[in-house]
Structure 1
Amino acid sequence: MERMELPPRPKLFDFHGVSMTNYFTDNWNNVQNFQARPDDILIATYPKAGTTWVSYILDQLYYDQSSPVCLLDRVPFLELHIPLIPSGIEMLDKLTTTPRLIKTHLPVQFLPKSFWEQKCRVVYVARNAKDNAVSYFHFDRMNMAQPEPGDWNNFLQRFMDGKMVFGSWYDHVTGWWEKKQTNSNIHYMFYEDMIEDTGREMDRLCSFLGLSSSTEDKDRVRERSQFDNMKKNNMVNYSTDFVMDFKISPFMRKGKVGDWKNHFTVAQSEQFDDDYKRKMKNTHLQFRTTI
């Protein structure tokens, strides 16, 4: 796609207690009034936690892949509203697949109420904070629709302070975790578990969704959804997205657990761990930073 001209990078601002940019708030009334259907499947994540991976797995499990269609079009981004392209709501209104697969990064308190009223199934994916921060940093470097990331040290401090698009990682993962404790329609997955055993986690996902895919189908999906295969697939790797500059960094960079060790200094890691313990002390939610 020929690169279109974007306005300057957006600025963060406080939106009902959560840091956001106008690309996710300009269509707010339409987002909040969105009418979910009972068979909709929502893929919810904090940014850079495995959204595309799980979206692609679900897309393959549900739909025939004989005619390649870009994942961006098959799994619309609910709250996205960027000039020059259809909004997430507009794309969902035109979507003909059933069930609809819908992507969101909204914290749990911002989710349109119709998803709860219709008892939609939600697949939430969480990734450990250190790897999530590193991935988010490189994402902001190459995504012109994100705020300027600055250097790694300042970015990491912002991450710890929750001054990120879609707010605090800590609030996001714990908010959805707490909601899961009282809502059986939420399937909470961990990126690290997916890396460790994709087949096992796919089986759990199919069980949650009531899908009875054959072993052959699951093997095919698992093979196609391996990181290196997705990275080469132009229908999945976001290379068609005009807001992303692959000369700076690919959208799919490494897909590993523990890459944070290549970015954090010892001092940064210790400071981060101390801050993490304070913020996560009141939850039973636990993450692995290595496997």
Structure 2
Amino acid sequence: TAEKPAAFRMSFDPDKLSRPEMFDFHGVCMTHFFTDNWENIQNFQARPDDILIATYPKAGTTWVSYILDLLYFGQIERQTSIPIFERVPFLELIVPSFGSGKDLADNLLTSPRLIKTHFPFQFVPKSFWEQNCRVIYVARNAKDNMVSYFHFDRMNRIQPEPGEWSSYIHRFMEGKMVFGSWYDHVNGWWKKKQTYSKLHYMFYEDLIEDTGREIDKLCSFLGLSPSVEEKKRVTSGVQFDNMKKDDMANYSTNFVMDFKISPFMRKGKVGDWKNHFTVAQSEQFDEDYKKKMKNSTLQFRTEI
């Protein structure tokens, strides 16, 4: 119920959180905030109507979560009283004295349950595949994704310190990021799509270019047929500026984030990387990118 303080809003001192160290976990860089509950998460019991929203961090997770939440549950009271990170739990997150995403997911009363993860596909609890759950994966071009992740790491107290931008680029290229290499992540999920028919693979850039069109594709994947009015309502509700102003969508009620450093929702644009990369950095990155993506059929746009 709305009156009961939810797990993620318990009063505790966020300044007591110390930034974590990264370590290698089954071949992927992780921190303890996402591995401490590993066994429970692997044993998570998915239901056939669960919908899993999977992304590399900062690729449009909250955006797509919000679209799905509106499509299924409409503009009701929960939209104004329950933050999106409680309506769509972050499965693998566990913060001491703060709650676990798995517990939130287990206690969700909605049907379908909308659940998000940043896991590479091989870490996803097997019950999601066994129950033949629908999965929505959102991918974003590497340069914009990295810029967004950099600003996120600056303001999020449960992420490692990002350090300088110039060294951050190298860390990103080497895959030394929480949740591992962007390249492995987007390609791993792309390959999974070839063998798992209930996976809808979306691109952040397409969503920016034509939100309505992408919502239509989502609805067709999910078997939903909203009325013209409903679709209009969803499309305008999920415009970046509307979400950025909405305290239930913009993470301003989440204590682990320091909005004095940067907002959680910063620009929501394609091509902001040009304001961060020098020409030399961009050329070096592009060369490395070509090598890493040479065997992939995935195509990204860095501008639209």
Q: TM-score, normalised by structure 1?
A: 0.99
Q: 1:93 deviation in Å?
A: 1.4
2:166 and 2:256 map into 1 onto residues whose CA distance is 25
1:1-291 equivalences in 2 (<5 Å): 4-5=13-14, 6-67=16-77, 68=80, 69-291=82-304
1:13 and 1:270 map into 2 onto residues whose CA distance is 29
2:12 and 2:178 map into 1 onto residues whose CA distance is 24
Q: TM-score, normalised by structure 2?
A: 0.94
Q: 1:85 deviation in Å?
A: 1.5
Q: Percent identity?
A: 73
Q: 1:92 deviation in Å?
A: 1.0
Q: How many residues align?
A: 291
* SS of match in other structure, 1:243: coil
2:73 and 2:99 map into 1 onto residues whose CA distance is 23
Query: 2:5 — aligned with what?
Result: none
Aligned-pair RMSD on alpha carbons? 0.9
1:35 and 1:17 map into 2 onto residues whose CA distance is 25
2:139–2:186: 8 Å Cα contact kept in structure 1?
Answer: yes
2:12–2:97: 8 Å Cα contact kept in structure 1?
Answer: no
What are the Cα deviations for residues 177-225 of structure 1, in whole angstroms up to 9, with x where unaligned? 0010111100000000000000000000000000111111111111010
1:73 and 1:7 map into 2 onto residues whose CA distance is 20
* SS of match in other structure, 2:54: strand
* SS of match in other structure, 2:291: helix
2:23 and 2:17 map into 1 onto residues whose CA distance is 17
1:268 and 1:64 map into 2 onto residues whose CA distance is 44
Q: 1:3 deviation in Å?
A: 6.4
| Gap runs ≥5 in structure 2 | 1-8
Runs of 4+ residues deviating >2 angstroms: none
| Gap runs ≥5 in structure 1 | none
* SS of match in other structure, 1:125: strand
